[in-house]
Structure 1
């Protein structure tokens, strides 16, 4: 006996299911928002303009995002998840020198951030001051990076490379300095290439590690 298609079964259009089409529309909105916000900023980005660039209707927009801020939040979450994955992958890689392994993780983060200025602008500039909700998400992301640096420093201390002490405040200072250096680079005022800015940030971390090692040895 032939069964009638279930009403809950996903219909297909040109070989694609409705779920696949929804996912494609959402991804087009995310990509359009990354490009648009990266170019003109969040405040100058309208839902109507995004829908036009993503080739979707406003009805489709609200199927995925309740507000424009919800879209920004989704973009920020994606960027922070990808950034964390890049850092953790670098930390998992073997290196002969423990300090070089830690610096490789910083290098991977900076290189990822600088490789796409639009993405970096969303992460470090456009989420600032949007709302208390976005500020909480931003602070959580910052604290996550602080934890990574602090844990890496504690690991170096356990290996005898650094003196045994509490490194969270130092990690906060390093994250803040890195954030401001990236924001300055995005402004275009530094005159540095991405490679030069990467070197400047790595030099900052290297100098502080060298100073801590020197004080430990004396």
Structure 2
């Protein structure tokens, strides 16, 4: 029994833990490599070298490069969205402050971490239908952060739901232009402009609902 247990442990880590650690290293390396040279110019070998792992460990966790791209994208999005949600939730009861706080966190993070920003905005576009489906799921999460959940709950107004999704697309388009142009406006200015657009879009829907 003891020898069997020891065979599964190395440096105090079980085999599953070691595999998870290697997977995370590959994801983090991919973010750096994709952010530097682009997904289409990156190779499995380059990512493995950045992670200081051999290629056999790549295929231990990922079927192909597209699977790694999706994992890297979700890793960036999950971290970003968690921080955005925390900033927004600190403004409970004030929808405008909630939106401004979330957008401020979003644009600040894109400015401070350009390589993950490239993965989030640039490298994920036009890859495949599978990647597009992941992007759609991420957009829904984004919209739930910007707009209070009751407004986009499953039984809420479908017009509001569609509007929230479209609004997120517009926010991402603004961010894409801002990042690709080298952050020409200060964070405060781009947040103010984006929040103003969102308020107009939402107020327009509210007025239509009253007609």
TM bucket (normalised to shorter chain) is 0.7 to 0.9
1:204 maps to which residue? 197
Deviation digits for residues 34-80 of structure 1 (CA, Å, limit 9, x no counterpart): 11101111000100111111111001111111111111111112222
- State the TM-score, normalized to the length of structure 1: 0.77
1:159 maps to which residue? none
1:106 maps to which residue? 103
Q: Quick check: 1:103–1:205 contact (8 Å CA) kept in 2?
A: no
Instruction: Give how far 1:121 is off.
Output: 1.4
Work out which structure has the larger RCO, using CA pairs closer than 8 Å and 6 or more positions apart in sequence. 2
C-alpha distance in structure 2 between counterparts of 1:38 and 1:11, whole Å: 35
Aligned pairs for 1:64-103 (under 5 A) are: 64-94=61-91, 97-103=94-100
C-alpha distance in structure 1 between counterparts of 2:141 and 2:84, whole Å: 11
Unaligned runs of 5+ in 2: none
Tell me the secondary structure at the aligned position of residue 4 of structure 2: coil
Q: Alignment partner for residue 167 of structure 1, among 160, 163, 169?
A: 160
Q: Would you say how many aligned residue pairs link Structure 1 and Structure 2?
A: 206
C-alpha distance in structure 1 between counterparts of 2:188 and 2:95, whole Å: 23
Unaligned runs of 5+ in 1: 156-163
**Which structure: larger Rg?**
1
C-alpha distance in structure 2 between counterparts of 1:154 and 1:21, whole Å: 42
- State the TM-score, normalized to the length of structure 2: 0.79
